[in-house]
Amino acid sequence: MGDLVRTGVSLERELLEGFDKVIGRKGYRNRSEAIRDLIRERLVDEQADENRMVVATLTMVYDHHRPQLSEKLIDAQHRAGGRVLAATHVHLDHHNCLEVIIMKGRSGEVRRLGDQILSFRGVKHGRLVITTTGRDLK
């Protein structure tokens, strides 16, 4: 960690009380740790917006009985080339599967692939989570 700098923040009492409750539930030992994580999260978002190299997980739930959906999912991943690093498939019940796809590439490419896959008919819910490779995080 670099040089430590102290700073002050003015907040409404209710906002701070709500923040303290949230960080307490999440297990933070103090506000500084929580604020550092919030700042890092925002910096990661900025990097993703600049079309930098990122890693991501695409998590989705889908109906595996939907005709041709499995083939479309596999085909999209194969066409993505080296952007797809791995995928994990779990059967939730008779109709529903959970799949997590791990990707790496330029944020624009990763977002397009995630959007394409989530738009397939039969995908019930999904979320793309983008983070950095960690190289620039302190």
Residue 33 is encoded by which pair of tokens? Answer: 């740790």
Distance CA 117, CA 92 (A): 19
Checking phi first, is residue 66 left (phi over 0); if not, alpha (psi -120 to 50) or beta? beta
pLDDT at 138: 61
Residue 84 is encoded by which pair of tokens? Answer: 């797809």
pLDDT > 90? residue 40: no
pLDDT tens digits for range 52-81: 889 999 999 999 899 999 999 999 999 998
pLDDT tens digits for range 16-37: 999 999 999 999 999 999 999 8
Q: Which of 121, 112, 106 is nearest to 79 (CA)?
A: 112
In sequence order, what are the residues at sequence separation of 6 or more whose Cβ sits closer than 8 angstroms to the Cβ of residue 20?
A: 31
When computed from its CA atoms, the radius of gyration of the chain, rounded to whole angstroms, is: 19
